[in-house]
Amino acid sequence: MELQENRHSADITETHKIDISTYPPHSQSYHFTVTISSQTGRSMWRAFFLAVGITVTILGAEFLAVDKAVLHRTNKETGKRTTKVVQPPEWVPWTLLSTGTVVVLYSFSIPRRVSA
């Protein structure tokens, strides 16, 4: 397998040429050229921030509906069962909802901010 790379910093475009030969040598050969532009990178950041924002917003909505969570754990060696109660403060759901909403709104402005 052979890999050649060309990077152009002016237009932020990367070209990768991959040559794959099968066994026995020279029986078949495959050539792939992959071009990655800066537009692809921008859409991936937008999708990442959108996913994080939606996840945090849903987590905040869940904390609004649930007052406390009781976690049970059983030790396999001793057979003893331990219980842990998780009760978040009153401000946590609202903080998660507002932070998630701001991140979602930010993700919609990424393409305009990067191209400007």
Give the start-to-end residue ranges of the domains of the chain: 1-36, 39-116
Q: How is residue 14 written in tokens? A: 């990367």
pTM higher than the cut 0.85: no
Question: How confident is the model at residue 38, as a pLDDT?
Answer: 55
Low-confidence residues in the chain, pLDDT < 50: 1-4, 9-11, 116
Question: How confident is the model at residue 46, as a pLDDT?
Answer: 84
Question: How confident is the model at residue 55, as a pLDDT?
Answer: 96
Other CB atoms closer than 10 Å to residue 13's CB: what's the count? Answer: 14
Distance between CA atoms of 44 and 41, rounded to whole angstroms? 5
21's CB contacts (< 8 A; 6+ apart) are 1, 27, 28, 29, 30
Question: How confident is the model at residue 108, as a pLDDT?
Answer: 86
